Structure 1
Amino acid sequence: MASQTPETSSAGSSGLDLSFVASIVDWLEANIMHIIGAFAVLVIGLLIAGVLSRWAERALGKSSKFEPTVANFLSNIVKYALWAVVLVTVLSQFGVETASILAALGGMALAVGLALQGTLSNVASGVMILVQRPFVVGEAISVDRFTAVVQRIGLFTTELKQFDGLFVMVPNAELWNQPIVNLNRHTTRRIELIVGIGYGDSMKEAREALLSLAAADERALDDPEPQAFVASLDDSSVGIGLRVWCATSDYMALTWDLTEAAKARFDEAGISIPFPQREITMVQG
């Protein structure tokens, strides 16, 4: 068998390289206009996508209905959607069937959506929370088993700080699917205090004593005016109720002060606050 000399091998390699370069040159000459057009579409499309996304972010940021996080998220959606349009347009310049590309992208999007349905659910819920604004940062809410102050609202989770100082991170989907009680949204709240008195004590005197406490405290609002009433007839006591409206910021302090003052006032007036009692009758056999 004849052996191949180095000179022959080098010549063959050079010929292959020249042929490859020639084929590239021929392809460039045949598609130069398509390449220029695709490059122009790519550059102009990316510039337009950037301008429109920034315009969308500024426009949404000026609206009081959209939080900055939502504005940034929606502007990014606009940008990525325009990028996809630019990519499909560039490929069409080279005769690529865009219908098959769109079908493939749709299939990929469906697969990703199914794989990340929990995450996407949190994102959708986060967007709804930021748009609908059932609560904002700094407000206290009660939802499910948590009563806490909102620290941060993200697209995936919401961070809460309980009144005992504990940190809580809740997925947005869980928050959005639960009834939410906002403790700070309205400027006024109603306090309802129930104090039990003995059956032998005067209900009228007890009501007047509670109303006098409300009248003496400047934090209690006159409109709606305080109300005192008989709330219940229990086994060992008569429940006397007091309803007082106050500023939301005064709710906890006024509740504590009225509870303490009610006990002191009843003691001064000789009105008893009985503890549960049970009468037992012994029958001799």
Structure 2
Amino acid sequence: MEEALKEFSTWGPRLVDLGTNLLVALLILIIGWWVSSLLGGWVRRAASRSSKIDPTIIPMFYSTVVWTVRIFTVIAVLARFGVQTASLIAVLGAAGLAVGLALQGTLQNIAAGIMLLILRPIRAGEYVALSSGSDGTVEEVGLFLTRLVQVDGIHLTLPNSTVWNATITNYSRNKTRRLDIPVPVRYGDDLGVVLAKLKTLVDANPDALKDPEPQVKVFDYKENGIIVNVRVWAEASKYWDLRWGLYQQIRSALEEAGFQPPIPLREIQNPKTGAAA
């Protein structure tokens, strides 16, 4: 019995210290995780309210703040158990180098994400098309991935390196866009009347900008008719409304005025008689 008491008196304080360290470490971990989420949320809200901060970089700011606090929290927890943080940092550095060599593609995505945020060829809310065949409205440029929302509501997630290495066509960066509509006119129709009617129709459209002035000009001659080009500028947000509206109005207005669309004609000759069939 006396030996058991001696053993307990020897191990008791150690167990108490271990339990205390576990409790304190758990408390540090919980508080650190809570503080990281709190600071991340505060940074996101503050950045969202500022007109000087591009919305595209807000997710990266949030992730950086959150994981910086969490890494320091884990180091503090390990230090509570007597782990030498200097040695730990050296080990983490060596491990980071090894992981970096193994994950070169991931590092390329990080580097591409940083370049996208610095040079900003795309921003949140802009509609873009990539030479890889993807297109959509930019929702987020993260540390590893870029998220697009296509016109049919489908979310598209791409590695940052894919976006960075592609040719980017940005349809939203400029405030205005030009619309060109080819209108075929039959040979023999009064071209002057057609041009005047199209000019009147375009000038009356509220979505068509007056500066630059709309242009209605003869553009080309085809086998089956003359091509008249209707060139008009619109605000980027109203481009598709103007396009859809003009395509319908032009055809309806010309048909009401008695102008029918050209019909392709082909002459087939009989090889025996040489006469047209």
Fold-level match, TM-score > 0.5?
A: yes
Q: Distance in 2 between matches of 1:210 and 1:142?
A: 31
How far is 1:270 from its partner? Answer: 2.3
Q: How does 1:55-134 map to 2 (within 5 A)?
A: 64=53, 67-72=57-62, 108-134=95-121
**How well do the aligned residues superpose, as a CA RMSD in angstroms?**
4.3
How far is 1:107 from its partner? Answer: 5.0
SS of equivalent residue, structure 1 residue 220: coil
- What is the percent sequence identity of the aligned residues? 34
Structure 1 unaligned spans of 5+: 1-49, 84-89, 91-95
Q: Distance in 1 between matches of 2:92 and 2:124?
A: 38
Would you say the 8 A contact 1:70–1:127 is kept in 2? Answer: no
Would you say the 8 A contact 1:201–1:272 is kept in 2? Answer: no
How far is 1:153 from its partner? Answer: 2.6
In structure 2, the partner of 1:204 is: 192
Q: Aligned pair 1:225/2:213, yes or no?
A: yes
Q: How does 1:1-285 map to 2 (within 5 A)?
A: 64=53, 67-72=57-62, 108-143=95-130, 144-284=132-272
The aligned amino acid for 1:64 is I
SS of equivalent residue, structure 1 residue 214: helix
Deviations 1:185-222 (A, max 9, x none): 22211111111111222333222221111111121111
Would you say the 8 A contact 2:224–2:265 is kept in 1? Answer: yes
Higher Cα radius of gyration? 1
Would you say the 8 A contact 2:54–2:123 is kept in 1? Answer: no
SS of equivalent residue, structure 1 residue 189: strand
In structure 2, the partner of 1:18 is: none
Would you say the 8 A contact 2:146–2:159 is kept in 1? Answer: yes
Question: CA distance change for structure 1 residues 82 and 162 in 2, over 3 Å: closer, same or farther?
Answer: closer
Structure 2 unaligned spans of 5+: 1-34, 74-78
